[in-house]
Each structure stands twice: as C-alpha cells, then as structure tokens.
C-alpha cells in the first residue's frame, strides 16, 4: 500500500487549496476543515499558518 501524501487540492480549492487538500488527506468534508480553520483564523495566527501551509504543501500534480 502506497503512503498517502498531503497536497493542496485544485478541485476543492477556494483560495489556495490548503483546506481542500487537508480534507482529501483525512477523507472528510472540506467544509468542516474550512470552519475549523476560520475559527483558528480569528486568533490571527491562523491566517499566518494558512499562508505558510500554502507555501510548504505542494500542489497536487494529478489533478
């Protein structure tokens, strides 16, 4: 079995595809990830973490 890899999603992307990619990795609804990230974003560090994740996580080459 091939290990799963975390990629930014192109088909579930709203901004940069980070939440969609995390949702695809954990096989859950992207809306749940977006809601959690929005709550985390209210602290200020969540916004920074989102853009850092967008830089670090590669785009999915298969989409």
Query: Would 46 be classed as within a structural domain?
Result: yes
Query: Would 16 be classed as within a structural domain?
Result: no
As a whole number of angstroms, the distance between CA 24 and CA 8 comes to 9
Render each residue's pLDDT in the chain as its tens digit; 63 residues. Answer: 778 899 999 998 899 999 999 999 999 999 999 999 999 888 888 889 999 999 999 998 887
**pLDDT at 16 (0 to 100):** 94
Query: Would 22 be classed as within a structural domain?
Result: no
| Phi (first) and psi of residue 30, to 5 degrees | -60, -25
**pLDDT at 32 (0 to 100):** 96
Query: Would 24 be classed as within a structural domain?
Result: no
**pLDDT at 62 (0 to 100):** 82
Query: Would 7 be classed as within a structural domain?
Result: no
Q: For the chain, what is the domain count?
A: 1
Query: Would 13 be classed as within a structural domain?
Result: no
As a whole number of angstroms, the distance between CA 49 and CA 61 comes to 23
Is there a contact between 13 and 63 (Cβ–Cβ < 8 Å)? no
């Amino acid at each position: 079995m091939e290990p799963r890899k975390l990629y930014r999603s192109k088909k579930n992307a709203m901004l940069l595809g980070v939440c969609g990619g995390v949702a695809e990795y954990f096989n859950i609804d992207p809306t749940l990830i977006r809601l959690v990230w929005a709550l985390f974003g209210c602290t200020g560090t969540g916004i920074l973490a989102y853009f850092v994740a967008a830089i670090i996580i590669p785009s999915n080459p298969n989409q």
